[in-house]
Structure 1
Amino acid sequence: MSRTNTAGAVPAREVWTGQIGFILAALGSAVGLGNIWRFPGVAYENGGGAFLIPYLVALLTAGIPILFLDYAIGHRFRGSAPLAFRRLAGRVGESIGWFQVMICVFICIYYTAVLAWASSYFVFSWDLRWGSDPTAFFVGEYLQVAAEPITFEFVPGVLIPLVLMWVVALVVLGAGVVKGVQRANVIFIPLLVIGFLILVVRALFLPGAIDGLTAFFTPDFAALADPSVWIAAYSQIFFSLSIAFGIMVTYASYRRRRVNLTTPGLVVAFGNSSFELLAGIGVFATLGFFAFEQGIPVAELEGLTGVALSFMTFPAIVSQMPGGEWFGALFFGALVLAGLTSLISILEVIIAAVRDKFGLTRSQVVYGLGGVLAVVSILLFSTTSGLTALDTVDNWANNIGIVASAIIVSIVVLWVRRAGPELASHLSTLSTFKVGRVWLFLVSIVAPVVLAYMLVSKIVELLVDGYSGYPVTYLGIVGWGSVAIMVVGAIALTGARWRHDPEKFEPWPATDAVSLKGDLR
């Protein structure tokens, strides 16, 4: 039996001021580092222009349907991930919610480190401090990467901006959902779009830009016969939209009762994909210039994704570009803004969950628990082994944790609890864009099958091939150990006492007042 204090129901939630505030906040979460440094390289390596076909299929068959599922759960059951899933599927559901919260705990402590790097490079752009060898500068002078996988030697150049990023994030979150989270996104997202548009326009007028765009968009239709290309498309969509680890459940819980859910979801999904396409244009126009300057084809360039693209390849390009200081500042400024809005959403998942469960004030959780997370982040990722730890935890949290979470949600919510018709009716009753049997088929059959294939393939790959040449023992402790801690943390938090009774709640509209038959067309 659940150990619950039945003194009263969970207090009423904060709410967004309107549709625009929610859309900008959701876009702020979805548009992150992966849009800028992951999508262009993934598209290029998986068929170029032809990749847009599986990408669009993945968006329509998995991305948007699971996004709607998160919206429906969060909005109908009015809670953070643990509270909403508890009300939907009991203690098992609550454990799923806490597992998603634990994923966010791990992501936030390393994600902030990347923001610290980007903010440092924003400053470095003004005097091109990385010199003639940006790769050596990044891993040597800046990060001072050690040969050992675990060290406790702090790097002052990372420590200071890391502390600053945590201060900014916690101050925003401490101000609340409307005055903090919403206001930050209303300011940061337009700045991000304007700044990135300027960067893209500048890139298009560089010598060799057309060659870069040609390389990016030239379709290799033969690649469509490769299953790995389709898996790459589903993977990109899945990670890009911030689904299945509590963010959209939490954000939807802050929406008013009578509000359109699906249409704003379409705006968020297609807005996120539009930014990814814009990023691809800007990045490959710039890479075309880099190839032109070196007298080689774009295909011979290296470092086209992730950390290598942002902190090694791009600084090298900026150094060769007329007015490179401004271009570099725009690029790294965009990384900071995109990453900061995503970080805020990740932390909000944790804050909302702890507040719901333990009845604490926002200030207590933000500056108490947030301060603890900041200290852990600083201890782990401002050291000379921070890059190795970041790379490892990121791989396991995303490719194992989030994918497993999505599969478990589908099984428990749609197969065991059989809540699909109720959630479909909730979406359709409140929204102009209706969902029905097709949506149920996609979220209960198509998405989990594809995700299960992704998960099994990744587990086999990690067990057989390891990861990045790191020692097997290290991967067991840091990689698989991270997932183990997520599971143990979820179980322990589920067993903790509720400050308020989560069961004192009535979904709206009431289940018997909603016509299920009429919506499942």
Structure 2
Amino acid sequence: MKDKPYAKFSSDEKATVISLALEDFNVPCQLSEKANHVSECNLSSASNEVQVRIGTRSTFDSNLGLVISCLGSAVGTGNIWRFPRILASNSSSKGSLAFYIAWIILLFCWSIPVILLEYVLGRFTRNSVPVAFTKFLGKYSVWIGGWLVTSVFFLSCYYPVIIGWCFYYLYKSIALKELPTTEEAGEAIFNEFTGNSYLPVIVQIVAVLVTGVFLFGGIRWIERANMILVPLLLCIVIFTFGWSLTREYAEVGIAFLLTPSWNSLADSSLWIAAASQNAFDTGAGMALLMTYAIYVSRDAQIVKYSMFIPITNNLVSIYASFTLFSTVFSTMVMDNPTLTRSAIVKIIQTTGPGSTGLTFTWIPVLFSKVGIFGRVLCSLFFLCLSFAGISSLIAEVQVYIVTIKDFGVSHKIAVAISVAGCVCVGVPSAISLQFLENQDNTWGYALIISGLLLTLIPIFYGPLRFRRIVVNIPESTDWRVPLFWVPIIAFLVPLQTITLIGWWIYNSITTDENWYRLTFTSVTSTLVEWSILIVVLLVANLVAVRVRGDRLFEKARQYGSDPYDPSTYERNTDADLVGPE
């Protein structure tokens, strides 16, 4: 942890110093080498000044730790479990290339611009999402930040269910006499586990509790865990990718992935799924990277990170899909040479509701073919996938921990509240695969709307002004964001979002005669859940403004910079500073 610089305040500013000298992220503020409280600080009658250490956000120990932690927040079960299943669900009988094309287009036209927006907002405001919106758009915009936070909350409640599956498969990889060698054997293990009434709930709770331990430890524990686990997972993913390509008939699966079905590009569900998966893959719209950016130094290379991290993350998704599909097609063709490609795709798409069991059914089958080291590699794979999932869950839960703390709650209590809420709300997803699929669709699609809401900040603040003051800070050695980013973030991203959501709703209504029914997968269910959330957030915002008025987030707003007060802008390149210089 870097030492924080000293700052001097006159005696009439002592109240401001006291309000800033708060415990944040489990790191106590120190006023001198020995003092631990503001009241112990001596006021000099001669100089009428008091010397203190400024209460700050804790920071990452290194840029590498930041990069690995941000990569860990993105790389996880979303790449290895969710991407192959979404790809399978949106593949035609001919191939999957159309989905890849839509997914890559949206990476550069939607995800990366939104990710950069998140980074610079976190670095500039040093605040949670609702407070950041309050600083830029005023006290009646808290509900907008609340949408982002609650969307991530609901997503993080079902996400531990998948991590729990990883824990279970880690255990089975060690305990089984032999790994399953066929699709039927692999699916039997998955169905036996998910059909159990209590075991999925137990492992879901364990996943949340493990996450809670790291969150109690603070940003340094998160950084150290990610430094070991994320590189190890990437090595295993690359190894399994290479091994899967050596299997007989693996080229059949690769050929399927790279075969286009151009008609699919006219399907709105493919584009909305590609956008949702991009958000889930990279963390765009989740405010994960905005939250981590609170803890970066002023001169961190965040424009470079905004390009490097999502591209690397999506490469992992491509490796995972090639690994799964080459394994599935190879095994299927060898076991039953008469199967057609369309028949194999049908089997993939029905491996659990929405292909939820695809990765867990087929990865053990792949490692069973490796030989004597197969069991070891399978165990390592699920171990690293478990903790990659944990690293992503840490980032998700941290979003609402920081928000709770901005209401004046201590770090430990905020963690306890977050962990308890995550466990309770996640239980239905652990019990029912259909409910899990509903939550995955509802809050996965909500991330697209979150990206739109984030663009409201530069739009109303002024996109050119935002680029000059918030993005391209003068003292940074980072890449300069070019002028063409302005129309992308102010026009293209909002237009894409509105078009995709509108197209998806229209297509759902016109192609599904039961669209109005409240089923797990209907568009009406998703819209009802969103509407309820919006109403609750609007009412809460109005009540908070009526009760607190201009004092809403009064203490929290003293962190970071105020976009309308140049005197608060951070200038120090070592600047973990908060409050006035």
TM over 0.5: yes
The residue that corresponds to 2:537 in the other structure is 490
1:16 Cα offset (Å):
1.5
AA aligned opposite 1:72: V
The residue that corresponds to 1:102 in the other structure is 150
Q: Does the 8 Å contact 2:299/2:478 carry over to 1?
A: no
C-alpha change, 1:473 and 1:251, in structure 2 (3 Å) is same
> What are the within-5 Å matches in structure 2 for residues 252-331 of structure 1?
252-294=293-335, 295=337, 296-301=339-344, 302-303=347-348, 306-315=355-364, 322=371, 325-326=375-376, 328-331=378-381
Q: 1:448 aligns with which of 494, 497, 507?
A: 494
> What are the within-5 Å matches in structure 2 for residues 376-415 of structure 1?
376-378=425-427, 380-383=428-431, 386-399=432-445, 401-410=446-455, 412-415=456-459
Q: 1:8 aligns with which of 19, 25, 30?
A: 19
Decide which moves more: 498-507 or 334-343.
498-507
Q: 1:196 aligns with which of 210, 230, 237?
A: 237
1:161 Cα offset (Å):
1.5
AA aligned opposite 2:400: I
C-alpha change, 1:142 and 1:41, in structure 2 (3 Å) is closer
Listed as ranges, the gaps of 5+ residues in structure 1 are 146-154, 515-521
AA aligned opposite 1:143: T
> What are the within-5 Å matches in structure 2 for residues 150-165 of structure 1?
155-165=197-207
Instruction: Count how many residue pairs are aligned between Structure 1 and Structure 2.
Output: 493
1:110 Cα offset (Å):
0.8
Question: For the residues of structure 1 that align with 2:532 and 2:133, how far apart are their CA atoms?
Answer: 20
1:311 Cα offset (Å):
3.2
Q: Does the 8 Å contact 1:162/1:382 carry over to 2?
A: yes
Q: Does the 8 Å contact 1:176/1:362 carry over to 2?
A: no
Decide which moves more: 303-312 or 477-486.
477-486
AA aligned opposite 1:28: G
The residue that corresponds to 1:152 in the other structure is none
**Residue 17 in structure 1 maps to residue 71 in structure 2:** no
Structure with the bigger RCO (C-alpha within 8 Å, sep 6+) is 1
Larger radius of gyration: 2
C-alpha change, 1:420 and 1:123, in structure 2 (3 Å) is farther
Question: For the residues of structure 2 that align with 1:330 and 1:372, how far apart are their CA atoms?
Answer: 30
Question: For the residues of structure 1 that align with 2:163 and 2:468, how far apart are their CA atoms?
Answer: 38
Q: 2:462 aligns with which of 418, 421, 424?
A: 418
The residue that corresponds to 1:117 in the other structure is 165
**Residue 67 in structure 1 maps to residue 115 in structure 2:** yes
- Deviations, residues 83-109 of structure 1 (Å, cap 9, x unaligned): 222112112432211111111221111
1:277 Cα offset (Å):
2.1
C-alpha change, 1:469 and 1:342, in structure 2 (3 Å) is farther
Q: Does the 8 Å contact 1:69/1:423 carry over to 2?
A: no
The residue that corresponds to 1:34 in the other structure is 78
The residue that corresponds to 2:561 in the other structure is 507
The residue that corresponds to 1:83 in the other structure is 131
C-alpha change, 1:14 and 1:482, in structure 2 (3 Å) is farther
* Cα root mean square deviation, aligned: 3.5
1:223 Cα offset (Å):
5.6
- Deviations, residues 40-63 of structure 1 (Å, cap 9, x unaligned): 465572764565544433222222
Q: 1:93 aligns with which of 133, 137, 141?
A: 141
The residue that corresponds to 2:471 in the other structure is 427
1:303 partner SS: helix
1:443 Cα offset (Å):
1.1
Question: For the residues of structure 1 that align with 2:205 and 2:129, how far apart are their CA atoms?
Answer: 28
Question: For the residues of structure 2 that align with 1:109 and 1:24, how far apart are their CA atoms?
Answer: 24
Question: For the residues of structure 2 that align with 1:40 and 1:421, how far apart are their CA atoms?
Answer: 41
- Deviations, residues 278-318 of structure 1 (Å, cap 9, x unaligned): 22332222123223323234443122574131234445656
- Deviations, residues 226-284 of structure 1 (Å, cap 9, x unaligned): 67655554443233211112212111111112322201221112211221222233222
Question: For the residues of structure 1 that align with 2:261 and 2:508, how far apart are their CA atoms?
Answer: 29
C-alpha change, 1:280 and 1:464, in structure 2 (3 Å) is same
- Deviations, residues 111-146 of structure 1 (Å, cap 9, x unaligned): 11111122112222341587944435433x32227x
C-alpha change, 1:119 and 1:478, in structure 2 (3 Å) is farther
Decide which moves more: 432-441 or 123-132.
123-132
The residue that corresponds to 2:223 in the other structure is 182
2:406 partner SS: helix
Q: Does the 8 Å contact 2:77/2:163 carry over to 1?
A: no
Q: Does the 8 Å contact 2:96/2:259 carry over to 1?
A: yes
> What are the within-5 Å matches in structure 2 for residues 334-373 of structure 1?
334-357=384-407, 359-373=408-422
1:69 Cα offset (Å):
0.8
Q: Does the 8 Å contact 2:173/2:378 carry over to 1?
A: yes
The residue that corresponds to 2:190 in the other structure is 138
Listed as ranges, the gaps of 5+ residues in structure 2 are 1-14, 23-54, 570-581
**Residue 57 in structure 1 maps to residue 108 in structure 2:** no
C-alpha change, 1:61 and 1:511, in structure 2 (3 Å) is farther
Q: Does the 8 Å contact 1:63/1:238 carry over to 2?
A: yes
1:507 Cα offset (Å):
2.2
1:360 Cα offset (Å):
2.0
Q: Does the 8 Å contact 1:48/1:217 carry over to 2?
A: yes
Decide which moves more: 421-430 or 46-55.
46-55
C-alpha change, 1:219 and 1:100, in structure 2 (3 Å) is same
Question: TM-score with structure 2 length normalisation?
Answer: 0.75
Q: Does the 8 Å contact 1:246/1:349 carry over to 2?
A: yes
1:493 Cα offset (Å):
5.1
The residue that corresponds to 2:213 in the other structure is 171
1:437 partner SS: coil
2:296 partner SS: coil
C-alpha change, 1:223 and 1:397, in structure 2 (3 Å) is closer
- Deviations, residues 335-382 of structure 1 (Å, cap 9, x unaligned): 32332221111100011110112x22221111233224323323x234
The residue that corresponds to 2:286 in the other structure is 245
AA aligned opposite 2:358: L
AA aligned opposite 2:127: G
Counting helix residues as a fraction of each chain, which structure ranks higher?
Answer: 1
1:452 Cα offset (Å):
1.1
AA aligned opposite 2:304: T
Q: Does the 8 Å contact 1:87/1:502 carry over to 2?
A: no
C-alpha change, 1:87 and 1:328, in structure 2 (3 Å) is same
1:451 partner SS: helix
Q: Does the 8 Å contact 1:261/1:431 carry over to 2?
A: no
Question: For the residues of structure 1 that align with 2:265 and 2:566, how far apart are their CA atoms?
Answer: 46
Question: For the residues of structure 2 that align with 1:56 and 1:284, how far apart are their CA atoms?
Answer: 19
